Amino acid sequence: MVHSRVLHKKLLKCDTCGKFFQYQSKLNRHLRAHTGEKPYFCATCGKRFSQMIHLRKHIRIHTGEKPHPCSICGNKFNDMSAFKSHMRIHTGERPYSCSTCGKSFSQMIHLKIHMRVHTGEKPYSCDMCDKRFTNLINLKTHIRIHTGEKPHSCNICGKTFRQNSTLQTHLRIHTGAKPYSCSTCGKRFSHIKNLTTHSRIHTGEKPYTCSTCGKNFSQFTNLINLKTHIRIHTGEKPHSCNICGKTFRQNSTLQTHLRIHTGAKPYSCSTCGKRFSHIKNLTTHSRIHTGEKPYTCSTCGKNFSQLTHLKSHMRIHTTLENFFLPTYTKLLFIEGHVTVGKKVMTLKHIFI
């Protein structure tokens, strides 16, 4: 009988949008969406809300109360909806899917933002430069370029960042964490972008092309590299040394050059303590201790620790090739010296 009465109870209609409600209290709450009325306010900061439940959630920002803990990782949340969204990280559930490309998401808001990729909609614009964005978070991050604000700081070295995600990546320098591994060779990386770039060593993919000479590049970190490469064609060297005036295509090359003037040697060998101004020099030096010789002569198979040594060695083969013309094929050397130009070369091989 109770069930029957509920079914036949008169429904209450919203005169503005035509939506129906069973109870007057729910209709009244709904009407505030049309009127903009916000009768509930926070005594701490004055922010107003249309519903008491929203005020209660908001107050937890001030009190720090987080009554919904995750039993898997221990994270705590101040409202149930945030807790449910978080749990999908652990379960892998993605109930919201894009009808255009099929990509799925754990939250409806992420799907809505994604849909703008297909529609081209960019509803958020920067008042300073008119650049537009698909979501508010990206706009807020962008505005910090103009304001110089870097609200996220490293508690170890004090370095500041515009984005929390950049801070989290930076922290891996201190912790040594490398959560991303290559499925081909097992090499590990601190950032997913570095893994993606590394993977192209195995696949051979070089998706970025110079429109002038057609040279391909595997990275867009290296579209920075591509942009730098293009300066070979244009001759542009926008980075200049304020001490000697020398100019460079890349800022990183300028920073390395400045160490000539300052004498800074920030890289030290963990084995012998010798210091270097450039990481490449440290890498080369380390091979003295490890015995690594990664460069091999394709003619005689001799190995070298440095590419410059291999190149110098290769000249022995090309010089001797030119020196021993076909008319000298009967010559035999067990060990001796040959002067070519100003160079005296020791021969310890047989040539017939």
Per-domain boundaries in the chain: 8-94, 265-320
Q: Do the domains 265-320 and 8-94 match in fold?
A: yes
For residue 62, pLDDT beyond 60 = yes
Say which residue, 223 or 241, is predicted with more confidence. 241
Closest to 13 in 3D by CA, of 24, 5, 2 = 24
pTM value? 0.41
224 confidence band (pLDDT: 50, 70, 90): low
Query: Is residue 245 left, alpha or beta, with left meaning phi > 0 and alpha meaning psi from -120 to 50?
Result: left
Map residue 293 onto helix, strand or coil: coil
| Beta strands 152-153; 132-133: pairing state | unpaired
Q: What's domain 8-94's superfamily in CATH?
A: Classic Zinc Finger (3.30.160.60)
Q: For residue range 285-311, what is the model confidence (pLDDT) as tens digits?
A: 999 999 989 888 888 889 988 888 888
* Residue 341 tokens, joined: 């130009």
- E strands, 14-107, where? 20-21, 40-41, 48-49, 68-69, 76-77, 96-97, 104-105
For residue 239, pLDDT beyond 90 = no
161 confidence band (pLDDT: 50, 70, 90): very high
Q: Which CATH number fits domain 265-320: 3.30.160.60, 1.20.58.100, 3.40.50.300, 3.30.390.50?
A: 3.30.160.60
For residue 320, pLDDT beyond 90 = no
